[in-house]
Structure 1
Amino acid sequence: MVQSGKYLGMPYLVRRSKKEVFDYLKDRILKRVNGWKEKKLFATGREVLIKAVVQSISTYVMNCFQLPNSLCLEIDAIVSRYWWGQREDTRKIYWKKWDFLCSQKRVGGLGFRCLKDFNIAMLAKQGWQLLKYPNTLLGQLLKAKYFPHTSFLEVGCGECIRIVGDKWIHKPTAFQVIAPPINLPAESNVSLLIDRDRTCWNENLIRSNFLPMDAEVWNLSPLRNLVLFYGDESNLSLIVALCWGIWQRRNQGPLLRDRVVRWYAPAEGWFKINFDGVRFKELQTVGVGVIIRNLIGEVMAAMSKQLPFWIDADCAEAFAAAKAIELVKDLGFYDIILEGDSLDIVKALREDVKLLSEYGHLVSQVAAASQLLRCFQVCHVGRMGNMLAHGLARMARGLDHQLVWMEEVPQALLEVLLLMLFVNVFCFCLVSI
């Protein structure tokens, strides 16, 4: 049997040690860089050589394979040493981190590629091609081998996947459960492990039938459940487009936590209450929306109500804040963060003074109610981070009574909740890179 070899510059047999297989890329780059070290080049010349030659050597391979993180870091280190002019007999000072040099020039960087990030982007591009052009020769080949009965990224319900024998859990390198279930038939399918009434994994059944190391592999978080049950093909297309948009924005500059307009989870033991108010000019009424979520983004409660009178925008926001505090008191939450997208109302709630404005009595009402709480904070967020509360406020149009949802959101806002949770997870991963 042939143990190694290349076709069109890429290995056609990938063994278990991917680092050993792709180590030739590092050798090629190191050889090229060592040949340049003897040349007296200015910084501009070194920059051109790095971008046009060194960082393009691995591009073709990264279109098809995910390189080991350790290999990407080693290659980045080689390029970084060359940039700062370090040789074997001398050491230079690294005036800036490599991550900073990989940011765009308009924000102070040099536009170098972080190989790990670029590798993921190239593979994501291949996934986009499979979604956009599924009938190509490559698309048909991959479908026949990896997902013959579904479409790319389609999430199933486990009716055709065996618990034992099929590779279906994220657990390298076997991707299978170690031991068969204790109290389930040997040929059971994954669908038996799903609680369809609560739309989540049946955690008690899983923990009573599998070894602890197998049970922990299941991601029992609400986000995973939400993707599992509501991630149809149209939603997945939106998610892929969203991923690409976030990635493009990241490449335009450092994606920092304080620059991303999104919903941030509260600390453990706290609950975040988002509120918003909208005006319906043709009806001469106002709608208010409130949503309460915990540390992991689970919805504790949601409320939508129409107020049968016409007021200005600030008053509408103040009424929404008052209704939010009223809902909090009714449900018995004591450590809360009140968050809205009206900067004027947030500032008024933060200041401990009596206001003479039209909404001053509403601010005083919220302040008085907050005294009965154990811990109380007020935060401002942009509209994009307040989308669910805004959607609930708009749903109040035409309502003749208050609607409250416990531990769920209306079906019309389920996709918004999914996208907000996905943005939070994806942004956190990008910031952590």
Structure 2
Amino acid sequence: MGRNVLGYAFSCRRVQKTDVPFPQRKGCKRISNWKNKMLSAAGREILIKSVAQAIPAFCMNCFKILNSLCHDIDSVIAQFWWSGNNMTQKIHWKNWKSMCVSKFLDGMGFRDTKSFNLAMLAKQGWKLQLQVPTLAYKVLKERYFHTTDFLNALIGTNPSYLWRSIRESQQLIRIWRVSELIDQRTMTWNDVKITEIFPTYERELILSIPLSYRHPNDKQVWFFNRHGHYSVKSGYRMAQSLLDLQVAESSSCNMMAFWKRIWHLELPRKVILFLWKTLNGILPTRQALIYRSIISENNCPSCDNELETDFHCLCCCPLARAVSNFSKWGFTNIEIFQGKSFEPLQIIELAGNLLEQDRLVKGVRSRRRILQINRTCEWRAPVESKLNVDASIFELSSVRRMGVGFIVRNAIGEVELAGVRRMVMGQSVEEAELSALAWSLRCCQRENIMVKEIEMDCKMVVEWIKGRHLSGILSPIVEDCLNLMESINCVDILHCSREGNEVAHMIAKKAKEIREEAIAWFNIFSNAGGFLTSYH
């Protein structure tokens, strides 16, 4: 028997394309509104991401949408993006697959409907795998995987479409166990076994993952999120990889940094989009139109001297260059398709209006900025002893390493203990700072140094320690730090500025001068009393 839920008609046994016309029909109605035809490309981008691609979200949260329907939804959105409405057929200068790539990888960051559907379903599957005692979990557990867990569950006999949909996400959240790579005696990574199995690069990444000294029980975390919780955003990235939608060759750090700078420019959005089209080579020049067999004339309509190419329009033809710089190709298109021409003074006037719009945009952004409160940059003496800790990242023989340093001082600034060590660089700066904190606390515990408070300049780690709710891959190290803080009677951890933590930072930088995994204590700083006291 079919059910109708918020406009969606689903059968318990099977689903057909006619069962879910609502998202497509609703989306078409939204984007075909007459007011939407007046939107610029920047406005269409916002409408697509905030409305058109958000409408099917409820349906995709529990049911797998047919591939044909996903294709239809993507087609309607793509047609609206390139033409301004879904009725007129216009040239699609870039295929939809590349448009769904991240903005930082030369795409537009639109959602691929099929990948997003899989990521939404994986959220339900992740809850089932964590065995959250909800009513839905109890019903599905008894019906489909009574003797096993979700990841090992079979399709079963006479399954509902809801179960078949959620089970599709198993491929996305499949988990492998790594306990076989850990030496259970020393609770460290088994370097010999890892070297035999993995290449050098992956070996370095595995060895950089910190392990707890307390031998805690294994638990399941989502590796692609620092908090360990599954998120649709991280799941969507994984789904794109599974469906081969992410462009591997464009994912270099240099290209990502380049595109980030482009999209973060303080310019009107339409100017940035014009720059994006230029860098992707999809400007509607006559050379591009001839390549698609749309026109036969190839000379520039402004100067009629050379072939109209991207380079000619932006660098050679004076009028076209002025037009493209100041009005997003608008003057040339109006002259060609509407028979209107512009005098130079009119171009200058319209360019001035665009410049004024740019100033208004920058003015609004500047007013929205939060004023920074002046903080003290000097080290603050504690009531009792205080620990300052920091990590420093450097390259050694083309390999990233990190140095960790700490210093314990009393109420009058006298040094009680200090240490430095070189370690394998972790996956992130936060992981390096957390490892530095854990090592410094173990040193204080071993030397029987009682510390009342801790200061460090990594705000994220301070929030992790104070929040006590991190459940990701670093959660065992956070728990280690909490236990160690309790053992040395530490009652608080505070965030400070980089300037207020300068001594610990300078000590951490000394790790580059000592040999691998060496530990140095206060005697290494005995000849640097002036250096230590200069920051009191």
TM over 0.5: no
TM range, smaller chain: 0.3 to 0.5
The structure with more helix, counted as a fraction of residues: 2
TM-score normalised to structure 1 length: 0.37
- Please say which structure displays the higher CA radius of gyration: 2
